[in-house]
């Protein structure tokens, strides 16, 4: 088939747009220019930095999450297990906040958790299908299938995954275990599952419920009327390592 | 001389190898395991014969429904609604793992890893 001049120009324009998109070092999203589509439901979350950064030393979200999900408290930082925790802004956004001179902002802490990426690298590398993407945007783990190879930990750009070096029950006191949620076992990887068990029954993630500052907003990213979309509207937001094109589902509202 | 000793040693070896079979043939058959059934509930989610043969198939179906398909709808059986959950449904009636699961699984040396993660605690049973 002969390529018409019109088609060639069209293709050229598309290639140009792709190149432009691909070379962006980082992105700033604003609510009004959100490009969404696909599934009718896409679970996502916003962290309102104005509210969260003010609550220094607060860890209610992590305490609620780790308590309910039987996450062991292990002192050794290299072998600790975490689903949601606080880290310095400069480390969360190394290519933006990390490069600015304002040390005060760089060292302020906010929450990090699994970004529930649309194009999740952990899902791509998992050899057993233990980690998979649900249609509603949750990156889920099936612990029954995890063989502990830790490919996902190497692939995740956010360090959101933890390996169980020990039997977690050694670090959970008998009366602190939540019997309605399984613990994990030695030799498997775990991470935040966005409280899939709560979302499936119409609830909200525990961290969102636990936040007294109202800094965590959960909602359907693909529904223009959702709490989340309203929060994103008219504000600028950062996403972590957006240049990797993982399409993270956690937005940090500036 | 040498030949007879070889015969003796091989006979002893054969006797040693056969001894477990001989012992089990001579001893009375061990009684079949008797898992303790709940007294207050008579109906299970499937007929007893099917549960005996295929309970793991059902558990795997429930697991795949909940974990992989996110389908947490309860199942309605005989007018009773059950959550697709090992600890949330099965163990509500079969309260004591030692007197139910472990009896057969122990006798058959079959050890599924359910309880490595799922929490069984006597004191939290209702």
B18 belongs to a structural domain = no
Per-domain residue ranges for chain A? 28-253
Structural domain boundaries enclosing B68: 48-124
**Strand ranges, E, within chain A:** 28-30, 43-48, 84-88, 109-113, 131-133, 139-141, 162-163, 189-190, 216-220, 236-238, 250-253
Q: Find the mean pLDDT for residues B75-90.
A: 90
d(CA B119, CA B114): 9
Number of other CB atoms surrounding residue A213 within 10 Å:
15
pLDDT in tens, A165-207: 999 999 998 888 999 999 999 999 999 999 999 999 999 999 9
Q: Answer for the pair A209, A46: CB distance below 8 angstroms, yes or no.
A: no
B111 belongs to a structural domain = yes
Residue of A41, A146, A179 best to disrupt the B interface, most CBs of B under 10 A: A179
Cβ of B116 and A177 within 8 Å?
no
d(CA A50, CA A48): 6
ipTM above 0.90, yes or no: no
A187-to-A61, B53, B117 alpha-carbon distances in Å? 26, 31, 12
B11 belongs to a structural domain = no
Cβ of B119 and A177 within 8 Å?
yes
Sign of the C-alpha dihedral, residues B75, B78, B81, B87?
negative
B5 belongs to a structural domain = no
Q: In the 8-state DSSP scheme, what is residue A38? A: S
Identify the pLDDT of residue A36.
58
Q: Give the gap in angstroms from C-alpha B116 to the nearest C-alpha of chain A.
A: 6
B30 belongs to a structural domain = no
Closest CA to B71 of B62, B79, B80: B62
Identify the pLDDT of residue A13.
66
Cβ of B119 and A183 within 8 Å?
yes
B33 belongs to a structural domain = no
Contacts of B87 in chain A (CB under 8 A): 179-180
Sign of the C-alpha dihedral, residues B93, B97, B98, B100?
positive
B94 belongs to a structural domain = yes
B102 belongs to a structural domain = yes
Report how many Cβ contacts below 8 Å link chain A to chain B.
38
Q: Give the gap in angstroms from C-alpha A95 to the nearest C-alpha of chain B.
A: 36
Complete DSSP assignment for A199-221: HTTT---HHHHH-SS--EEEEET
A28-253 CATH choice from 3.40.50.1220, 3.90.180.10, 3.30.1490.100, 3.30.70.20: 3.30.70.20
Cβ of A185 and B117 within 8 Å?
yes
pLDDT in tens, A199-233: 999 999 999 999 999 999 999 999 999 999 999 99
Q: In the structure encoding, which two tokens stand for residue A105, read together?
A: 């902002």
């Amino acid at each position: 088939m002969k390529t018409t001049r019109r088609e060639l120009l069209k293709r050229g324009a598309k290639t140009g747009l792709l190149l432009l998109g691909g070379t962006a070092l980082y992105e700033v999203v604003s609510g009004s220019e959100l490009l969404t589509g696909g599934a009718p439901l896409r679970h996502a979350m916003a962290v309102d930095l104005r509210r969260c950064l003010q609550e220094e030393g607060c860890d209610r979200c992590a305490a609620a999450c780790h308590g309910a999900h039987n996450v062991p408290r292990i002192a050794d930082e290299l072998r600790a297990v975490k689903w949601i925790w606080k880290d310095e802004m400069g480390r969360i956004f190394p290519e933006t906040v990390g490069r600015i001179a304002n040390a005060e902002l760089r060292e302020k802490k906010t929450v990090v958790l699994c970004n529930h990426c649309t194009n999740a690298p952990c899902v791509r590398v998992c050899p057993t299908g233990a980690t998979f993407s649900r249609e509603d945007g949750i990156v889920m783990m099936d612990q029954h299938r995890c063989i502990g190879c830790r490919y996902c930990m190497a692939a995740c750009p956010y360090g959101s995954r933890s390996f169980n070096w020990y039997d977690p029950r050694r670090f959970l006191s008998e009366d602190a275990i939540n019997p309605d949620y399984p613990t994990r076992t030695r030799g498997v990887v775990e991470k935040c599952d966005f409280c899939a068990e709560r979302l499936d029954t119409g609830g909200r993630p525990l961290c969102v419920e636990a936040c007294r500052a109202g800094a965590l907003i959960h909602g359907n990213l693909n529904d223009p009327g959702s709490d989340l979309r309203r929060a994103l509207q008219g504000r600028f937001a950062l996403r972590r390592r957006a240049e990797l094109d993982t399409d993270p589902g956690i937005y940090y509202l500036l | 001389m040498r030949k007879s000793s070889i015969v003796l040693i091989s006979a002893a070896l054969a006797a040693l190898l056969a001894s477990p079979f001989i012992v089990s043939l001579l001893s009375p058959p061990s009684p079949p395991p008797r898992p303790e059934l709940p007294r207050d509930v008579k109906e299970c989610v499937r007929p007893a014969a099917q549960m005996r043969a295929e309970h793991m198939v059902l558990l795997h179906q429930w697991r795949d429904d909940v974990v992989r398909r996110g389908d947490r709808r309860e199942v309605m059986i005989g007018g009773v609604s059950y959550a697709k959950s090992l600890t949330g449904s099965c163990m509500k009636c079969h309260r004591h793992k030692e007197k139910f699961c472990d009896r057969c699984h122990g006798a058959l040396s079959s050890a599924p890893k359910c309880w490595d993660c799922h929490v069984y605690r006597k004191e939290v049973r209702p």
